[in-house]
């Protein structure tokens, strides 16, 4: 009995051994035959689709002799977005080779596997009677998904209504395929999507998700209601979608969402605010650095980085924030910027009050010491008092920083390495000697190639008794060179331009003139100059938004106090 | 009485082996059933399109590396070649004394950046964080040594993906593997972890950081392990899906929901089987909080890794696995046969206790007594036929798993490979199986002595062609 058991067991093993090897070998043989067929099809198709007309015509007849299943299998693997000529030839092959008929027959087959194949290939069918909608509404989820996936952008735009219906499909694969197809249709899908969002259907999450990924400002009008929804996910997606919009109304909705009860909504709103790249948004995002949620604080920090110059200025202000969490996040983000740009940060420049205490004061040539001791400490105290008590001085300092930032294409971190000179003149009386203090930032680790002066206007004081403040920023960026040429060629300086009523108008008008003046001087407009010319319109507008200034400098003192 | 006892020893040993073989047969049946179900769900590989979508969830691949200077560069190159659309690769250098970090810094032009992350689970301090100017998806965490679990915790903290994929630094991942592993998370919101198959690369060529076709390793020890891996992954883990869910997702290749991992406290640093421990804890927490905590294994997404080629290293690995298993079973012993923990408590945990924990002890004890009985004449030599028959059945079931693997996935698609693998399936029963019992017993002993260190791994590097 025991021996018999042994024999049975090992016989079974031996049998399995042969079965395994034999079935494996048969599979190999079948695969080799299929691979050979497909290789032949590929060879013919590669000539047919991509070679010149002569060669393509020669192999066209060969293609007719190829086995249809192998041909369909290979065509299935080809990209939907073949370029024009290859695609036209493929469509011609499908038409003339009877494949179109085969595909259309499969589209109505009882077996769903056949319909899946038809769904995948129907983008090639040009027959006027072919109804794509049928496969999009097939009873089998995979057929619907394949039909949605295989639509070309034009076809997706034509079937956008049906695709939007599929967003509510019970199968996730269909929903995602439909979402992608709608996104492929791009802006052509917006009217239908907008209508769907405006209908406010209960199950609008999928549509919102599409809207959140479709950059089109037209959608924002429908999103306000969703932004007020009780559902967190709807508010979050609305916030995400609103980032593609613009204008005050959108900004206001986003500002409201930036203080939502849910942290994820706040994060989405802050990220969207960063997209607007406005000073007003920077102020809102800056406040979020004090949020109770770490996720929101991080999003705010990263958003301030994304906001560029105004964001960087705010980040540096928050290094002195009362809130330790805001300070910490600002420090982390600035460190990451510093590591990215290879420049160090000079936080002493950030706060006008700290500036006076920073020990960076250099006696000015024109400075007149009240007691004649020429003591830097006295000058520091004088500067501190002047800046601390004078909102205009603070604003001027902020403007100087903005000027340096605007002049530098990289970041405020880079601008902190610029030399910012601040001259504060004491109350000027016609007969009195002027006193002034000049404060300069250090240039710790940046080579200074040909510093170029960019001036910002003197802050006009209504009274002769008020201190007069003059600020000049000296950035070091190379791209500023065209600006010098601009000035040298007789164009108004930025400072002069600021005095003009409409600065934006000036910058738009002057950009081509700057190029022209350089061309007259014998040089072709350089790339950097064009960059600067483009930047002037936005970046060199040094009028700082009130909300931004408040975020930057704190609330303005009351009139009575001053 | 003694005579009767010794006469029964061979029968007991044979009954045990046949019992284990019967369970394996049951797993094969379960695996075939599950394979058909998954094929029906993922037929026509719709996930391929679905996850090239812009809506694909972000996945952070965590690669803990300790003394991996030989393989880490190839591994990262392979990961960067993955076709997943929303990807981040986080390599964690766990204070390696070799040049692991330098190899990466030089190869990918990495620069230090300031780390901005929230430390939600504890880990050893991070020395520096690097990003690549050429590959913005790549992040290197250079930290003080704290072990694999500690490294993974650092990675989970720093990662920005909704999903995290833990792989070993000596693992290559198939280009579309990640898409397949992510798909179940979209199908089922209760999914917390999904694992894929790990196959052995020894002697297989590497092209473009992937394995174009597997080769049966030339040396017997890796070849025997190749057979073992087919049985363990393709049948063992796949079979568990319908039988109450897996308790193991290989540390070499698995995807987790990051938020769930953080909520469960991350990887347990004091556990030597941190991958299994995390899965058991995720499931336990899921049951205790009445949240869904499904764990699934997928047979088709494949990762490739190198198996130990020397008996010494393999012995260390196996005894570590045994200690890890015992550690997890001890930590979560209250789950065993506890209806509160559903199928995990009533099926999976008892199975692991009996088959994985008790098996080497019972089998070793039986074989030792049999040997003593034969030497002393207390056991009839004819009893060996029964034991031989049991091993024969074991070989038949192993070849059945090889056949299933071949039909389903065509992993070793050459006549000669099949002959070799079937031959090794027979040899496995006769030589390799007793060896693994000895190594696992060694693990039991070390566990009882409280030894929890990892031991050293020797890497050969991939055969690039």
Q: Which DSSP string corresponds to A99-129?
A: HHHHHHHHHT-SSHHHHHHHHHHGGG---TT
| Option in A3, A332, A340 nearest B385 (CB) | A3
Side-chain half-sphere CA neighbours of A425 within 13 A? 18
The reported pLDDT for the residue numbered B449 is 85
Please spell the DSSP secondary structure of B373-426, one letter per residue: HHHHT-S-TTHHHHHHHHHHHHHHHHHHHHHHHHHHH-SS-SHHHHHHHHHHHH
Range of A1-10, A22-31, A547-556 with top mean pLDDT: A22-31
Are residue A332 and residue A358 in the same domain, yes or no? no
Average pLDDT over residues B430-448: 89
Range of A124-138, A188-202, A453-467, B418-432 with top mean pLDDT: B418-432
Q: What are the tens digits of pLDDT across the range B219-273?
A: 999 999 999 988 888 888 888 888 877 888 887 788 999 999 999 999 998 888 8
Burial category of B40 from C-beta neighbours within 10 Å (exposed 0-12, middle 13-18, buried 19 and up): exposed
Contact B392 A333 (CB under 8 A): no
3-class state of residue B194 by DSSP: strand
**A244 lies in a domain?**
yes
Contact A176 B186 (CB under 8 A): yes
Range of A496-500, B34-38, B285-289, B352-356 with top mean pLDDT: B285-289
Q: Please list every residue in chain B whose beta carbon sits closer than 8 Å to the beta carbon of residue A233.
A: none
- Residue A394 neighbours by CB distance under 10 Å: 21
The reported pLDDT for the residue numbered B434 is 87
Are residue A266 and residue A288 in the same domain, yes or no? yes
Closest by Cα among B144, B251, B235 to B195: B251
Q: What is the mean pLDDT of chain A?
A: 67
3-class state of residue B140 by DSSP: strand
Are residue A247 and residue A382 in the same domain, yes or no? no
Domain containing A479 equals 349-553
Q: Please list every residue in chain B whose beta carbon sits closer than 8 Å to the beta carbon of residue A28.
A: 413-415
With vertex at residue A240, the alpha carbon angle to CA B116 and CA A156, rounded to the nearest 5 degrees, is 125
The reported pLDDT for the residue numbered A395 is 65
Q: Are B204 and B195 in contact (CB under 8 A)?
A: no
Interface residues from chain B to A (CB-CB < 8 Å) = 43-44, 46-47, 49-50, 53-55, 111-116, 118, 186-187, 382-383, 385-386, 388-393, 395-396, 399-400, 402-403, 406-407, 410, 413-415, 418-419, 422, 426
Are residue A515 and residue A434 in the same domain, yes or no? yes
With vertex at residue A141, the alpha carbon angle to CA A140 and CA A146, rounded to the nearest 5 degrees, is 105
Are residue A447 and residue A359 in the same domain, yes or no? yes
Are residue A275 and residue A395 in the same domain, yes or no? no
B425 — pLDDT class (breaks 50, 70, 90): very high
| Option in A17, A177, A294 nearest B422 (CB) | A17
The reported pLDDT for the residue numbered B327 is 92
Are residue A514 and residue A408 in the same domain, yes or no? yes
Range of A521-530, B37-46, B295-304 with top mean pLDDT: B295-304
Residue pairs between chains A and B whose CB atoms are closer than 8 Å: 132
Range of A80-89, A259-268, A524-533 with top mean pLDDT: A259-268
A305 CB within 8 Å of a chain B CB:
no
Residue B69, token pair as written in the block: 């200077």
Are residue A431 and residue A459 in the same domain, yes or no? yes
3-class state of residue B60 by DSSP: strand
Are residue A497 and residue A471 in the same domain, yes or no? yes
Are residue A337 and residue A469 in the same domain, yes or no? no
- CATH code at A223? 1.25.10.10
Name A339's Cβ contacts closer than 8 Å, sequence gap at least 6: B111, B112, B113, B114
DSSP at B248: -
pLDDT higher at A554 or B37: B37
Contact A8 B112 (CB under 8 A): no
The reported pLDDT for the residue numbered B465 is 38
pLDDT higher at A537 or B63: B63
Measured CA to CA, the distance from residue B165 to residue B257 in angstroms comes to 9
pLDDT higher at A157 or B83: A157
Q: Please list every residue in chain B whose beta carbon sits closer than 8 Å to the beta carbon of residue A176.
A: 50, 53, 55, 186
Q: What are the tens digits of pLDDT across the range A56-84?
A: 777 777 777 788 888 888 887 776 667 77
A205 CB within 8 Å of a chain B CB:
no
Residue from A5, A76, A263 to probe the interface with B (highest B Cβ count within 10 Å) = A5
Lowest mean pLDDT among A422-431, B11-20, B340-349: A422-431
Contact A176 B55 (CB under 8 A): yes
Contact A335 B114 (CB under 8 A): yes
Task: For A126-176, give the secondary structure using H, E and C.
Answer: CCCCCCHHHHHCCCCHHHHHHHHHCCCHHHHHHCHHHHHHHCCCCCHHHHH
pLDDT higher at B341 or B112: B341
Contact A177 B49 (CB under 8 A): yes
**Which of A320, A342, A364 is where one domain is finished?**
A342
**A546 lies in a domain?**
yes
The reported pLDDT for the residue numbered B43 is 59
Measured CA to CA, the distance from residue A34 to residue A28 in angstroms comes to 10
**A360 lies in a domain?**
yes
**A130 lies in a domain?**
no
3-class state of residue B200 by DSSP: strand
Residue reference for tokens 């699934």:
B296
**A15 lies in a domain?**
no
Q: Are A392 and A459 in contact (CB under 8 A)?
A: yes
A377 CB within 8 Å of a chain B CB:
no
Are residue A513 and residue A385 in the same domain, yes or no? yes
- Residue A68 neighbours by CB distance under 10 Å: 11
The reported pLDDT for the residue numbered B206 is 75
A142 CB within 8 Å of a chain B CB:
yes
Q: Residue A77 to residues A80, A558, B431: CA-CA distances in angstroms?
A: 9, 72, 47
* Min distance A153 CA to chain B CA atoms (Å): 15
B331 — pLDDT class (breaks 50, 70, 90): very high
Q: What are the tens digits of pLDDT across the range B181-214?
A: 888 887 778 889 999 888 888 888 777 667 777 8
Q: What are the tens digits of pLDDT across the range A167-182?
A: 888 777 788 888 888 9
The reported pLDDT for the residue numbered B47 is 60
Q: Are A493 and A458 in contact (CB under 8 A)?
A: no
Measured CA to CA, the distance from residue B200 to residue B56 in angstroms comes to 30
**A94 lies in a domain?**
no
Asked if residue A52 has pLDDT above 70, the reply is: yes
**Which of A294, A319, A342 is where one domain is finished?**
A342
* Min distance B305 CA to chain A CA atoms (Å): 25
B89 — pLDDT class (breaks 50, 70, 90): very high
Number of domains within chain A: 2
* Min distance A526 CA to chain B CA atoms (Å): 27
The reported pLDDT for the residue numbered B53 is 67
Domains of chain B: 1-57+170-452 (no CATH), 59-161 (3.90.550.10)
Asked if residue B155 has pLDDT above 70, the reply is: yes
**A483 lies in a domain?**
yes
Are residue A368 and residue A483 in the same domain, yes or no? yes
| Option in B186, B392, B418 nearest A172 (CB) | B186
**A2 lies in a domain?**
no
Number of H helices, E strands in chain A: 30, 5
Closest by Cα among B175, B162, B156, B140 to B303: B175
**Which of A289, A324, A342 is where one domain is finished?**
A342
Number of H helices, E strands in chain B: 17, 12
| Option in A5, A10, A329 nearest B386 (CB) | A5
Average pLDDT over residues A250-278: 86
């Amino acid at each position: 009995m025991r021996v018999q058991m042994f024999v049975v067991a090992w016989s079974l093993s031996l049998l399995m051994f042969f079965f395994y090897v034999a079935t494996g070998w048969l599979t190999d043989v079948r695969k080799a035959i299929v691979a050979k067929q497909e290789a032949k099809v590929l060879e013919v198709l590669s000539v047919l689709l991509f070679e010149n007309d002569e060669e393509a015509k020669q192999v066209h007849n060969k293609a007719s002799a190829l086995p249809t299943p192998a041909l369909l299998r290979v065509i299935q693997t080809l990209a939907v977005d073949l370029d024009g000529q290859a695609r036209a030839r493929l469509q011609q092959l499908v038409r003339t080779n009877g494949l179109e008929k085969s595909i259309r027959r499969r589209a109505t087959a009882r077996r769903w596997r056949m319909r899946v194949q038809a769904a995948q290939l129907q983008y090639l069918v040009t027959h006027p009677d072919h109804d794509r909608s049928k496969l999009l509404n097939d009873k089998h989820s995979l057929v619907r998904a394949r039909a949605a996936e295989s639509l070309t952008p034009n076809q997706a735009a034509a079937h956008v209504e049906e695709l939007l219906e599929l967003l509510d499909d019970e199968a996730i694969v269909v929903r995602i395929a439909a979402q992608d197809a709608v996104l492929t249709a791009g802006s052509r899908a917006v009217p239908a999507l907008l209508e769907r969002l405006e209908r406010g259907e209960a199950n609008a999450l999928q549509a919102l998700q599409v809207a959140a990924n479709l950059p089109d400002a037209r959608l924002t009008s429908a999103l306000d209601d969703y932004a007020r929804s009780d559902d967190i996910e709807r508010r979050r997606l609305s916030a995400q979608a609103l980032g593609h919009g613009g204008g005050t109304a959108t900004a206001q909705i986003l500002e409201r969402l930036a203080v939502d009860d849910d942290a994820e909504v706040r994060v989405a709103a802050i990220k969207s605010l960063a997209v607007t790249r406005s000073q007003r948004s920077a102020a809102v995002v800056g406040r979020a650095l004090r949020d109770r949620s770490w996720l929101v604080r991080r999003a705010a920090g990263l958003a301030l980085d994304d906001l560029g110059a105004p964001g960087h200025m705010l980040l540096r202000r928050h290094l002195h924030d009362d809130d330790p969490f805001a300070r910490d996040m600002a420090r982390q983000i600035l460190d990451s910027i510093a590591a990215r740009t290879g420049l160090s940060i000079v936080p002493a420049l950030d706060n006008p009050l700290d500036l006076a205490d920073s020990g960076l004061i250099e006696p000015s040539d024109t400075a007149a010491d009240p007691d004649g001791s020429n003591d830097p400490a006295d000058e520091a105290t004088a500067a501190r008092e002047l800046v601390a008590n004078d909102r205009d001085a603070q604003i001027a300092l902020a403007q100087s920083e903005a000027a340096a930032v605007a002049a530098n294409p990289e970041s405020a971190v880079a601008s902190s390495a610029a030399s910012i000179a601040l001259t504060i003149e004491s109350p000027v009386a016609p007969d009195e000697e002027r006193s002034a203090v000049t404060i300069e930032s250090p240039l710790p680790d940046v080579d200074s190639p040909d510093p170029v002066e960019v001036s910002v206007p003197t802050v006009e004081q209504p009274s002769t008794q008020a201190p007069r403040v003059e600020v000049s920023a000296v950035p070091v960026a190379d791209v500023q060179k065209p600006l010098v040429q601009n000035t040298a060629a007789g164009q108004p300086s930025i400072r002069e331009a600021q005095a003009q009523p409409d600065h934006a108008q000036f910058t738009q008008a002057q950009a081509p003139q700057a190029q022209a003046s350089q061309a007259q001087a014998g040089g072709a407009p350089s790339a950097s100059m064009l960059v600067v010319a483009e930047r002037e319109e936005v970046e060199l507008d040094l009028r700082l938004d009130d909300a931004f200034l408040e975020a930057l400098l704190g609330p303005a003192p009351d009139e009575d106090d001053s | 009485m003694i005579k009767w006892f010794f006469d029964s020893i061979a029968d007991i040993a044979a009954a045990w082996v046949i019992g284990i073989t019967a369970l394996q047969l049951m797993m094969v049946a379960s695996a075939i059933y599950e394979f058909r179900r998954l094929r029906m769900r993922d037929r026509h590989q719709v996930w391929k399109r679905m996850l090239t979508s812009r809506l694909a969830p972000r996945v952070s691949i965590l690669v803990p590396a300790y003394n991996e200077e030989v393989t880490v560069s190839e591994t990262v190159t392979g990961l960067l070649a993955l076709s997943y659309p929303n990807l981040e690769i986080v390599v964690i250098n766990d204070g390696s004394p070799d040049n692991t970090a330098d190899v990466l810094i030089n190869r990918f032009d990495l620069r230090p950046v300031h780390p901005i992350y929230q430390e939600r689970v504890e880990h050893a301090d991070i020395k520096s964080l690097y990003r690549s100017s050429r590959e913005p998806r790549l992040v290197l965490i250079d930290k003080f040594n704290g072990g694999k679990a500690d490294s993974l915790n650092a990675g989970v903290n720093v990662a920005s993906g909704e999903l995290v994929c833990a792989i070993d630094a000596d693992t290559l991942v198939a280009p579309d593997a990640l898409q397949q592993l992510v798909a179940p998370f979209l199908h089922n919101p209760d999914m917390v972890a999904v694992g894929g198959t790990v196959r052995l690369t020894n002697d297989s060529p590497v092209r473009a950081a992937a394995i174009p076709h597997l080769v049966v390793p030339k040396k017997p020890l890796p070849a025997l392990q190749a057979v073992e891996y087919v049985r363990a992954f393709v049948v063992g883990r796949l079979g568990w899906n319908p039988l109450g869910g897996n308790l193991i997702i290989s540390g070499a290749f698995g995807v987790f929901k990051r938020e769930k991992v953080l909520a469960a406290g991350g990887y347990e640093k004091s556990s030597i089987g941190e991958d299994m421990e995390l899965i058991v804890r995720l499931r336990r927490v899921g049951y205790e909080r009445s949240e869904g905590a499904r764990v699934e294994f997928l047979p088709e997404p494949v990762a490739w890794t190198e198996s130990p080629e020397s008996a010494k290293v393999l012995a260390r690995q196996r005894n570590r696995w045994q200690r890890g298993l015992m550690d997890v079973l001890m930590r979560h012993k209250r789950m065993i046969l506890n209806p509160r923990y559903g199928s995990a408590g009533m099926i999976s945990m008892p199975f692991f206790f009996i088959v994985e924990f008790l098996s080497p002890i019972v089998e070793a004890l039986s074989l030792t007594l049999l040997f003593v009985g034969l030497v002393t004449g207390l056991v009839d030599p004819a009893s060996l036929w029964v034991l031989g028959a049991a091993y024969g059945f074991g070989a038949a079931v192993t070849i059945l798993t090889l056949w299933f693997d071949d039909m389903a996935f065509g992993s070793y698609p050459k006549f000669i490979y099949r002959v070799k693998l079937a031959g090794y399936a027979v040899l496995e029963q006769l030589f390799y199986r007793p060896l693994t019992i000895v190594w696992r017993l060694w693990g039991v002993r070390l566990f009882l002595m409280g030894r929890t260190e990892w031991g050293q791994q020797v890497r050969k590097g991939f055969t690039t062609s």
